[in-house]
Amino acid sequence: MALLEVENLTVSFKTDEGIVTVLHNASYAVEAGEVLAIVGESGSGKSVAMMAVMGLLPRTAEIMADKILFNGHDFLKLTGQERRRLMGKEIAMIFQEPMAGLNPCFTVGAQLDETLQAHEKMGRKARRERSIELLTAVGIPEPERRLKSYPHEMSGGQCQRVMIAIAISCNPKLLIADEPTTALDVTIQKQILDLLISLQTQYGMGLIMITHDMGVVAETADRVVVQYNGRKMEEADVVQLFSNPKNSYTKALLAARPENAEGGRLQIVSDILDDVEGAMQ
């Protein structure tokens, strides 16, 4: 049985102009220890799918699914309290903006402490030791001193490392990373991806990587879901996807990578969109 199973997830929003459906019948499955990449452009529903699973969407969102099953817990029937007990403990999530993801009013130490305090039965001293251990694990130099730092005293890359430390603090079974490197510059991106993958292997977590960057997909994923306009276009093994893409949108997406530019011009995805099923016109 997969760690996370989502079957036929549909998400729609009630707006003044009527009901807008942003995700149609998408299914996902992640095994323990596997890296699943969900790739797609803005508005493809990749973030919304995971926000729906985590229960982070506003109340105007309507979520329908045949099944959302995580490690034996039925997420469709979960009470608020049961959900809170799982979040941070068994499922963790990191976001795009590391600077905004940490609370500017509290020190790094306090924010690490909070998750441990909520989910683990540990004394103050044990929590502090665990915090230092976590900061070391994510490659932050001088962890004892960093515990007393405020988020604004650190760089974006360091903040993202702290976010990752908070996310893995209770040894979660599944980590969802929503564009974890988009806001960082290229050299830091590489470091953070390497860190995520090494932690994923070390802890044996399932990892869902939401991204729009084919480079990130190639570097990290075992399996790939390609989404466009709220629909799943293709799901394939990562090697297969790059060597033999089935769907015409996937082909267009791969052709549009900078390394495939011909005569100094990039290919444009929308040129071939006529063939894509469900494409916006």
Q: Under the rule (CB under 8 A), what is the footprint of another protein?
A: 54-56, 59, 80, 84-89, 92-93, 95-97, 100-106, 114-115, 118-119, 148, 163, 166
Shortest Cβ 12–another protein spacing (Å): 18
Q: Which is nearer to another protein, 59 or 125 (by Cβ)?
A: 59
Shortest Cβ 47–another protein spacing (Å): 11
**What tokens appear for 132 in the block?**
């230092």
Q: Which is nearer to another protein, 81 or 281 (by Cβ)?
A: 81
Strand partners, 242: none
Shortest Cβ 209–another protein spacing (Å): 16
Q: Which is nearer to another protein, 119 or 146 (by Cβ)?
A: 119
Strand partners, 257: none
8 A C-beta contact, residue 168 and residue 199 = yes
8 A C-beta contact, residue 85 and residue 36 = no
Phi, psi of 144 (to 5 degrees): -60, -40
The letter for the amino acid at 191 is Q
What does the DSSP 8-state code read for residue 80? H
Shortest Cβ 169–another protein spacing (Å): 9
Q: How far apart are the first and last CA of the chain?
A: 39
Shortest Cβ 115–another protein spacing (Å): 5
Shortest Cβ 197–another protein spacing (Å): 21
Shortest Cβ 41–another protein spacing (Å): 21
Q: Which is nearer to another protein, 40 or 180 (by Cβ)?
A: 180
Q: Which is nearer to another protein, 106 or 242 (by Cβ)?
A: 106
Q: Rounded CA gap, 195 and 162, in Å?
A: 12
**What tokens appear for 26 in the block?**
């998408």
Q: Rounded CA gap, 6 and 62, in Å?
A: 16
8 A C-beta contact, residue 46 and residue 231 = no
Q: Which is nearer to another protein, 160 or 250 (by Cβ)?
A: 160
CA 185 to chain CA centroid, Å, is: 18
Q: Which is nearer to another protein, 119 or 232 (by Cβ)?
A: 119
Shortest Cβ 171–another protein spacing (Å): 14
Helices (H), the chain: 46-54, 80-86, 98-101, 108-119, 124-137, 143-146, 156-167, 186-203, 214-220, 238-243, 248-255
Q: Which is nearer to another protein, 114 or 222 (by Cβ)?
A: 114
8 A C-beta contact, residue 30 and residue 225 = no
